[in-house]
Structure 1
């Protein structure tokens, strides 16, 4: 199953089917390989070999998926795409955050280790690959430059996405859906650099670190991780985030030629 370097696919991962739906529809020759209860869709996108997969929700599910991508499919790079809650001021619904670093906000082995530090790693933060994250941010800027073309006028009007922005910085992950003002404020106080919060990225970053494989993460902001986080969540993914993912990945793949 493992590919040679010249044939090695690029892995594209999302937690939920809706986040990846538009991308899967755009793969002309996808063929599923089922492992560990997951379908790994092997095929091509933008003329490049890719393997796309739904990790499932949460850090354990994401880590299992990442390990399979690297060990069984020999992925040469891993890109995570999906939605997140916005934390930092100015990170608005419809914006995109590209990670420079990722951290598990619910990791706490103190007093044996400092809060957030992953035991025996000597670090709390895992860096995204700088080159990969840089080109992904450039691709996102290109895709978001014309939201009407990417999403259609109706979706732009419905979610007021007239000037979406691309941000780069810290994304934090944890095994809970942050959906109250109190929780999001606590995260902002503890981790003021954090731009967005989700449930998988830091786990995948740690696995890619272990394998020495480039990793990058892109998250569309679906909500402000507060008491309104559940409002129109699924509709936003269907109408916006899924199409952002496809547009950004197509732009990024075009830059690799």
Structure 2
């Protein structure tokens, strides 16, 4: 088994070959790595960033995705995990080719069947705040991308009937979801169980999750959706910097941390707290953020 180098790694996951190809087109100087259990990734350089990107094609399904993502995280030790690809749209105002960035991911099959009917027991996982913020910043300057920040539903189903029982369940219980797909919850579960790891699901809309799905897919909508999702994924990595590279960033792009005594006058803010220009740093790590208003302890 090849041993990955110790460099900032972003793990980009896909389910389908066309999704993989859309991301692969952005990665240079690729090499193939093979895990001892046979899982393969291509690792390469993302131009204009400090990232090396490890790209994997995992196949369909949340359970398989969770297992393989856990394996890849343990092997490659990435700082960020992004699942990118295509999905069905669930809103009338979300068009084919639009991109949905998952503010959270719903698992839609959990519940209890009773004589009164199926009682939903919703489960959700949030996307990374840092990656979501990077995505919001990135898409502002992408005139050719129409992005939506909404929850994404994950279910072991391909939805092609807007009048089906599962479609009705989505409308009743997950009516804020913008897209439905099959893998996102598995990737987020694996990321959340592996400590401090940023993760986000990014999906291009290839169909409207209705009876027109086959016709829309045949029109090339899947390729368009995969390209748009890959474009946003790459833009997010241009915005989101590796933690190990944070000290090399310009001040305007750094995290809010200013404990350097040369950065400004220090004022009495309690033990271990310093004021550096426009930021407070508590050495105990309980607060780091911009200072708004007075800092003399009055409320």
TM-score, normalization by structure 2: 0.70
Cα–Cα, structure 1 residues 42 and 241, in superposed 2: closer, same or farther, change >3 Å? same
1:225-236 to 2 correspondences below 5 Å:
225-233=209-217, 235-236=220-221
The alpha-carbon deviation at position 64 of structure 1 amounts to 2.0
Whether 2:63 is the aligned partner of 1:56: answer: no
* Alpha-carbon distance in 2 for matches of 1:220, 1:141: 17
**Equivalent position of 1:248 in the other structure:** 232
Cα–Cα, structure 1 residues 175 and 253, in superposed 2: closer, same or farther, change >3 Å? same
Partner SS, residue 23 of structure 2 = helix
**Equivalent position of 2:172 in the other structure:** 189
Cα–Cα, structure 1 residues 252 and 131, in superposed 2: closer, same or farther, change >3 Å? same
Residue 87 of structure 1: which of 79, 87, 90 is its match? 90
Whether 2:62 is the aligned partner of 1:77: answer: no
Report which of the two has the higher share of helix.
1
Partner SS, residue 40 of structure 1 = strand
Partner SS, residue 11 of structure 1 = strand
Instruction: Structure 1: give runs of 5+ residues left out of the alignment.
Output: 118-123, 148-163
The alpha-carbon deviation at position 3 of structure 1 amounts to 5.4
* Alpha-carbon distance in 1 for matches of 2:208, 2:216: 12
The alpha-carbon deviation at position 193 of structure 1 amounts to 1.5
Question: 1 or 2 for the larger relative contact order (CA 8 Å, sep ≥6)?
Answer: 1
The alpha-carbon deviation at position 254 of structure 1 amounts to 2.5
Q: Which has the larger radius of gyration?
A: 2
**Equivalent position of 2:222 in the other structure:** 237
**Equivalent position of 1:12 in the other structure:** 12
The alpha-carbon deviation at position 25 of structure 1 amounts to 2.9
Residue 188 of structure 2: which of 194, 201, 205 is its match? 205
Residue 120 of structure 2: which of 97, 115, 119 is its match? 115
The alpha-carbon deviation at position 52 of structure 1 amounts to 0.6
CA contact (8 A) 1:104 1:116 kept: no
Partner SS, residue 75 of structure 1 = coil
Give the paired residue count. Answer: 228
Could you report, residue by residue, the CA deviation over 1:9-55 in whole angstroms, capped at 9, with x for unpaired residues? 00111111101213213322111223455421111112421101112
CA contact (8 A) 2:84 2:230 kept: no
**Equivalent position of 1:126 in the other structure:** 125
What do you get for the CA RMSD once the two structures are aligned? Answer: 2.2
TM-score, normalization by structure 1: 0.80
> Which runs of at least 4 in structure 1 moved beyond 4 Å after TM superposition?
none
CA contact (8 A) 2:28 2:46 kept: yes
**Equivalent position of 1:138 in the other structure:** 137
Whether 2:46 is the aligned partner of 1:45: answer: yes
Could you report, residue by residue, the CA deviation over 1:164-222 in whole angstroms, capped at 9, with x for unpaired residues? 53111211101111111123343112211211110000111111111122111111111
